[in-house]
Structure 1
Amino acid sequence: MKLNKNIVSIITPMKKNGNIDFDDFTKIIKFQLKKNTKFILVSGTTGECSTLKMEEKLKLVDLVKFYTKNIVVGSSYNSTEKTIHFLKNAKIKGARYCLLNTPYYNTNLERNILNYFNEVFSNTKIPIILYDIPNRTGVKLSIKTIKKISKIKGVLGIKESCGDIKKEMFIKKYTKLDIYSGDDFTSAISNIIGAKGVISVISNIFPEIINKIFNCKFKDKIYIQKKIFKLTNLLFSETNPVPIKWLMYKIKMIKQPKVRSPLLILKKNKKKILNEYKKIKTWKKKIT
């Protein structure tokens, strides 16, 4: 199956002691599939990939495959050898695609970055979505570099998390990559200018709304985007996934709002987040 328009970047629910709550994780997967979500991203930024052990990531992939074959796995390593080792095993467990960021800290040189993506695909044969997220990797990919990466066999798409609509337009013009918005608050605009879809955080709670954005008329896309705009911004008022986990805890989708250190449980905007959630929950009945 080809990649869908709405890919949910799933959280990794945890117990008070920091261990993964696999029961809650299973409930979330079932909820997503019931709401017609076609693709699940496991171990993305929202899934706290940086603090998950490799064996934990593989166990999550292994669990999801019992419910759907449409799995994207996030790889957050900056070691080429470790990335290849992980993705080979993730593919065996059932991952069909990977979300792959540039190797942070090690290098920002174009030739090293191109070699990284070449080596990863050559050794794993798992299709790649390039993850452009400079505020986390420290590397802001130029259009020129993205164009070169797009010519590497196996690189099919890009998750663009710069919040730069102009950049997305250039990517659309100069490459054949499928573009996925990395920001819920710009997903409708991205879709209008040619993005195929979104890799979404808010879909953890409102997948049907995000599905609607990518399957409605122009004026309706803008209307929906305006309605969810405040909440999508508030969900990034602290480091993702802190706010979305807290909200999912408050609405009883998970038992604990626990995040792994160095992240801490949400401190600010709690009332605002909950109020905006309630507004959208009431309003969404009109459109879904």
Structure 2
Amino acid sequence: MWIDKAKKLMDKGSPFVIATVVKAQGSTPRGVGARMIVSASGETFDTIGGGEVEKIVIERSKTVLENGKHECLSFSLKGDRWLVTDDIYVEGMCGGSIEILLEAVLPKIEVVIFGGGHIGSKLADLCHIMEIPCRIYDNRNEFASIDRFPYAKKVICAPYEVLQEKIELTDSSFCVVLTHGHVYDHVVLKALLPQKQVPYIGMIGSKHKVGAIIENIAEGGVLPDNRLYSPIGLNIGWRRPQEIALAIMAEIQAVISGGTPSHCRIDWTERIQ
């Protein structure tokens, strides 16, 4: 059923559209309450009647996912053709009218922190303030504990070399690499880059250190792409762990919302002259 597939997609952090027949008069493919799931790839589960109506719903679902806004499509039979809301005509077989509501379901993002040290701890605190779920992964028992991260959705203690077996990442997983050693940063980045569903990978470090790691993993065939933000964080003049965490959170927020790292201020001195 559509509801089972919707739950699976939500658990995976994948966006989708629920198409629901909210009004039906006369002869229509399906009645009020019929639902269909349309995934981000255009795959469908269940049906609202098939045919040209369903084809248009699938196509319009792409736009609904892009802008995150609900949309209601109306179809009515005029002669032997369906008239769509925006003056699109398609061949029709029924003799009634139908309205279909398209609702975007966009899973809430999570922050996955690899490294539970000072910066990771402060970043987790900011996630709590921002109401963003976070998961912590560290290979040290003393840094991967519920006592240290009381607000985390999950805390995992395991070697970084087996992270692909220990943690499942989704389309909503914003990954931050803050381990306690260059070797571990290398291991984590090498494991994360091939996971194309991950939308953001941020790694701390100087340009020299980051460059050396990227060159090393590139020799093994793992190439960086534009999901990689490293050195991580907006340039806000940070030094202390809480300031670095703030710079990281600001960057993640900018990526999520499509914002730009610039001032909002107005030059009021010119306005009053």
- Higher RCO structure (Cα 8 Å, ≥6 apart): 1
Structure with max Cα Rg: 2
TM-score, normalisation: structure 2: 0.30
TM-score, normalisation: structure 1: 0.29
Which protein is richer in helix relative to its size? 1
